[in-house]
Structure 1
Amino acid sequence: MTQSTSPHIVRLDAIHCPDSTFNSTFKHTYAAYQKTPPTDDIIIQHLTSPKPANVAITTRIPISEKTLAACPDLKLVCAMAIGVDMIDLAACKKYGVRVCNVPAASNESVAEHAIALFFSLRRQVVRMHELTFPGVDWPLRMSLKDEFGECPGTCREEIVTILGGGELGGRVANICKALNMKVRFAERKGVAASEVREGRMAFDECIRSSTAFFLTLPLSPETLNMISSEELAAMRSDALIVNVARGGIINEEALVEALKKRQILGAATDVYFEEPAGLKNSTLVRAANEWTKDDSMKGRLVLSPHLAWWAKSSIEKLRTTVAANIEAWAGGEVKNEVL
């Protein structure tokens, strides 16, 4: 597409952050939907009526092959995020649709949120809050230290594995190192010991020996269910898992079972296999709900609603990069292309 034409842009889930601001000389038309239901028929309707879209902007709304087949005017899918797991990339290639994203969209915020989730588990912040605010147990018992279970160590005793070696993983690693934690990056699962890259440690060795795991890698066919029953059973009993990557990398049913069996100490996540996560569609939400009635499980599963990215710096980068990506594409150049 060239600047002589005026692309029609449709944003499918504007609820997440304010719209991008385009250059005043950029000719285009624009429609935004706050919350598009994630069903093909409605997505297609929004991308074809009342005017066919040339550009779709999505944060979490899926773009499927069925949608692409029904939208012949669609030429660019612009992810208002770093992740593109909601976009069928193979189908985009088949239909000649370009895909771009916002690299490192919110890594600063997400890294900080990951550390917050870690401490919420290791220091039992949620559990201690629940015990303190009623104003009964502490005055009655004089000390609530026994509610911690095993006495926790400090940061210098942590052995951290980063699963995912990109910028986000690097940011998390730097914070952990600044706190005197021992940090290593795991090699890809299935790589032979003789082929482990410099600066990495074999995946299985990391699984067996780490006290904390931070997931910072993309969801793909290769990483789906990367951590499941076998890996969880091999972990230390004092291990914590923090997932700020994507749901589906950890098998959620296996994670709940591992927590019940006390194979690991705790887990915290900002992401889910199905989102938005609720009682009807999330094993983790149901488990956390049930465990509010079980003192032995309280504080061992900490959930946040996919808002690790939410920060002023993230919003500004998302808005400006999406606008730049679309304007560049309209001028014949594709920036930040995923496909």
Structure 2
Amino acid sequence: MAPLSIVYLDSATIPSHITIPTPSFPHHWTDHPQTNAEQLDERLTGQHIVITNKVVLDAAILEKHPQIKLIAISATGTNNVDLTYCKQQGIRVCNIQGYATRSVPEHVIAMMFALRRNLRGYQQDIEQGEWQRQNQFCFFTHPIQDIEGSQLGIIGSGALGQALADKAQALGMNVVFSDRKGASSLRPGYQDFETVLRESDVISLNCPLNSNTKNLISSTELSMMKSSSVLINTARGGVVDEQALVDALNKKQISGAASDVFIEEPAPLDNPLMLNAHLPNLILTPHVAWGSDSAITKLVQILIDNLNAFVDGEPTNVVI
């Protein structure tokens, strides 16, 4: 067969110490650490297979390149690709699933412990000399809450949500899954969305970003939560109204929050979360919950397996 042209538009999303396997079919591979909108048209020219993590591929750009046969998303989320157009034009789209079922839940658990025990607040107090001012062998400027015996409400019951539930139950937490917001009837094993918000000590967002989940958590939802509860978002930035979250923290409507994701990435300095990064009860990480070495090694192997399977006529991890 004639070699296929493959372009990786944002390969810098894979750490340099992780080796990407080589596809088993004849190919020409072009690698770009990053690609902006102005570079996209040129870099798609003549390419048959396009690999993207976060570079946006919409109908306006895809219609200029009818030779594209496969879009391989090197992540789980698909909101950066116009799936409707791809389906209409017969462009196959595949993604990567199940690679971070250790990494993301462990990141959530780490954030949960840090927030419930107010580790960041105590670190800041020590840095600012509070221990010396208190003049005691210890001091309690922030409440310390246990994990065991508390309730974790999970919004999103896919592989990541289920893996998180297993780890949380092993820690002695009561785990509940939320049904879809506004659901007319509850699915077996799920609780009402608003009930989960009201009764849980920790809310973890593990759902995709789509038209139903955009701003899923805003001022109304935050006002339902316990004042002692915390919110953790490792899903997508758009699932949470960022300004509403900051307002809830400043008003002490909730006890703390952690976010690994932002509406715009990298987050601009005037992003509401970035402007309030100094808060002792706010933890921010740069979209790395998925990124343990073992998870990324698994990801790149699945990525290349997806390419090989497509060329073999038996595509795997198909989105459309």
Partner of 1:13: 10
Q: Is the 8 A contact 2:113 2:147 kept in 1?
A: no
Q: Distance in 1 between matches of 2:34 and 2:297?
A: 21
Please list the CA deviations of residues 269-322 of structure 1 after superposition, one character each: whole Å capped at 9, or x if unmatched: 101111111314x2211222xxx3xxxxx3211100001111121111111111
Shift in Å, 1:142: 2.6
Per the alignment, in what secondary structure is the counterpart of residue 145 of structure 1?
coil
Please list the CA deviations of residues 167-194 of structure 1 after superposition, one character each: whole Å capped at 9, or x if unmatched: 11011111111111111001111112xx
Shift in Å, 1:19: 5.6
Query: Are 2:182 and 1:190 equivalent residues in the alignment?
Result: yes
Paired residues for 1:1-339 under 5 Å: 4-17=1-14, 18=18, 20-23=20-23, 25-37=24-36, 39=37, 41-48=38-45, 52-133=46-127, 136-143=129-136, 145-148=139-142, 151-192=143-184, 195-280=185-270, 282-288=271-277, 292=278, 298-339=279-320
Q: Is the 8 A contact 1:81 1:105 kept in 2?
A: no
Q: Distance in 2 between matches of 1:186 and 1:170?
A: 12
Query: Kindly tell me: are residues 262 and 137 of structure 1, through their superposed partners in 2, closer, same or farther at Cα, counting changes over 3 Å?
Result: closer
Per the alignment, in what secondary structure is the counterpart of residue 267 of structure 1?
strand
Per the alignment, in what secondary structure is the counterpart of residue 183 of structure 2?
coil
Gaps of 5+ in 1: 293-297
Tell me which stretches of 4 or more aligned residues in structure 1 moved more than 6 Å: none
CA RMSD of aligned residues (A): 1.5
| One-letter amino acid matched to 1:142 | N
TM-score (norm 1): 0.89
Q: Is the 8 A contact 1:121 1:299 kept in 2?
A: no
Please list the CA deviations of residues 8-44 of structure 1 after superposition, one character each: whole Å capped at 9, or x if unmatched: 0000111111463124x5200010101112x2x3212
| One-letter amino acid matched to 1:47 | L
Q: Is the 8 A contact 2:116 2:147 kept in 1?
A: no
Per the alignment, in what secondary structure is the counterpart of residue 203 of structure 2?
strand
Gaps of 5+ in 2: none
| One-letter amino acid matched to 1:137 | E
Share of identical aligned residues, percent? 35
Partner of 1:295: none
